A and B are shown apart, each in its own frame.
Chain A
């Protein structure tokens, strides 16, 4: 409903719906990536055992993925040592890669934009970047790469999705 007659100017030039497609590409540094592999026995119970060990060490995890023989997730770089200790105590097979960055490609309703996630992933993989981990949400897709590979990958994705950076460093849709 509209309120009482107002003298404030109507906002005719504002943005209503968000624009389609990729709006910006962001790099978040400061993560470590952990792959737990070759779990045996009851896989569900073994995965929960891993998560319990990490939780007991007061480590918060992000982007958990269930893999054929284990789990894969991210922790903050500061928590990596604690997570490492907890998993060693748990006596599971795992790899821990430090100095990882997340490259986030933002697009509104990305899961509903036909083929968009697939085309972003294809671009990312064919750029030659070694991607450790991927994930998606309703408004973004993410890739985990080494810290040094992150900005070149982000730039490649900006270029391929027609996003450019303004002088202030913010991403702007080129069209």
Chain B
């Protein structure tokens, strides 16, 4: 049973959460609890608050990833101890565990570690002794050799506590994994966009993983994938209501064609490079290769790739755009062979000072050709997620038509076996979600 930040943020929430654990125990189960840090952004022990402790000392001093992990894992440790104490105060023996103590072993990537093994000996012993184990989510340890028997603490990155719960469920051969949050389950859309978006009673692991990857925040895709691979039933429920929640099952248990939901995610910047000035096919390949190589060199993440006879395009996270602008705007790409020609990348309509300076310097060296990149800031992805639905003739037509009819411009699209995504301006995202929700009759889904 995993309880998210809002479930454990207040004494009342912790009491309600604890009563759910006790109820499970009284039904004959042996519950293992996983908790997130207390509260969300801004709360005293939330991750961003803890990071603020370092920033407050000196924001210019680089914090080592190892030490950041040690710091931000404290929120979950505090939460586990407080939750265990709450259970004890209600007359139920409980023991708090850090992730490593609970047997969660990870790779050695600080800040975004992946779980490689579960060694549940201590948890099983705790259960056998009659305790309710309460495990700090979002963390584990990786083995650094015999000289460091305790291993190094790591954190699991986004969705880490959901991932902890699923992995422990798998490692313990659990009857089920229940993710408790502050909504009734997996919904067909963000209630900010569709106020009365229904709760899905049953979805497949694939659907929920797709929904989660594409922006729904109710359960992390890693958790769904681990549960799917282990065949463990996964539930998403509301700590604060008696709604039955959403059951996540395998495809075999819930076949059929349907649209599952509409999501939105990402703060993106879209760039489309005009390669029509490339002198030859070889020049074009060179330009494409150099652009992608530069993006790889600076670890830029790409979305919504496209390639046409005269252009390439992609979106990048807004947080990474300053890097992209810095390394691509004004980038000079000279061709070695004769006749001498030089390509110069220019981002946006107007040449920056960097581009103008480069152009002036290069003018005398030979044939200077600009590679302009159209820039659209403030973009986001809106996605229609479905099951055995994406091969329907006319699906793209339906999606693009409903958006065009409402004057929402689609900049780019991408699709998979389970989803169809459009890149649009962020200011239109909630309207687009609502329109697609209506168009595909999702208010009627149960």
Contacts and interface: CB of A to CB of B under 8 A. Distances in A.
A and B, one complex?
A: yes
Interface of A: 1-6, 8, 10-20, 35, 37, 44-45, 47-48, 51-52, 54-55, 58-70, 72-73, 108-109, 111-119, 121-122, 125-126, 131-141
Nearest to A58: B393
A117 B312 CA distance: 14
A134 B414 CA distance: 10
Contacts of A116: 296, 301
A114 B413 contact: no
B277 interface: no
B299 A115 contact: yes
Interface residues of B, number: 82
Contacts of B81: none
B325 interface: no
A10 B173 contact: yes
A64 B413 contact: yes
Interface stretch (B49-57, B109-117, B239-247): B109-117
B289 A12 contact: no
B114 A118 contact: no
A132 B312 CA distance: 11
B292 A2 contact: no
Interface in B267-301: 272, 274, 285, 288-289, 292-301
B91 interface: no
25 contacts: A1-B178, A2-B172, A5-B30, A14-B230, A18-B222, A44-B410, A51-B394, A51-B396, A52-B394, A61-B396, A70-B308, A111-B301, A114-B299, A115-B296, A115-B298, A115-B300, A122-B293, A125-B288, A132-B307, A135-B414, A137-B419, A139-B213, A139-B416, A140-B416, A141-B305
Interface stretch (B9-17, B195-203, B397-405, B427-435): B397-405
Contacts of A55: 393-394, 396-397
Contacts of A126: 285, 289
Among B214, B296, B312: residue with most chain A CB under 10 A: B296
A140 B213 CA distance: 13
Nearest to B403: A44
A139 B418 CA distance: 12
9 cross-chain pairs, A with B, having the tightest CB-CB distances, nearest first: A3-B175, A55-B394, A114-B299, A118-B295, A67-B308, A119-B296, A17-B114, A118-B296, A137-B416
A160 B40 CA distance: 41
Contacts of B31: 1-2
A73 B391 CA distance: 13
Contacts of B298: 115
B285 to A, nearest CB: 6
Nearest to A53: B397
A100 B127 CA distance: 57
A118 B173 contact: no
Contact of A118 (B210, B229, B302, B404): B302
Given A3-B175, A67-B308, A111-B301, A16 B118 contact: yes
Contacts of A12: 117-119, 171
Contacts of A14: 170, 229-230
A48 B398 CA distance: 9
Given A18-B222, A134-B306, 20 more contacts: A1-B174, A1-B176, A2-B30, A3-B29, A4-B30, A17-B116, A20-B109, A44-B400, A52-B394, A64-B415, A65-B306, A66-B410, A111-B302, A111-B303, A115-B301, A121-B288, A122-B296, A125-B292, A132-B307, A139-B416
Contacts of B107: 20
Given A10-B171, A122-B289, A138 B213 contact: yes
B278 to A, nearest CB: 13
A126 B307 CA distance: 15
Among B114, B307, B391: residue with most chain A CB under 10 A: B307
A1 B116 contact: no
A12 B289 CA distance: 44
A154 B404 CA distance: 38
A68 B310 contact: yes
Contacts of A72: 306, 308
Contacts of B145: none
A39 to B, nearest CB: 12
Interface string B163-184: 1000100111111111000000
B308 A16 contact: no
B339 interface: no
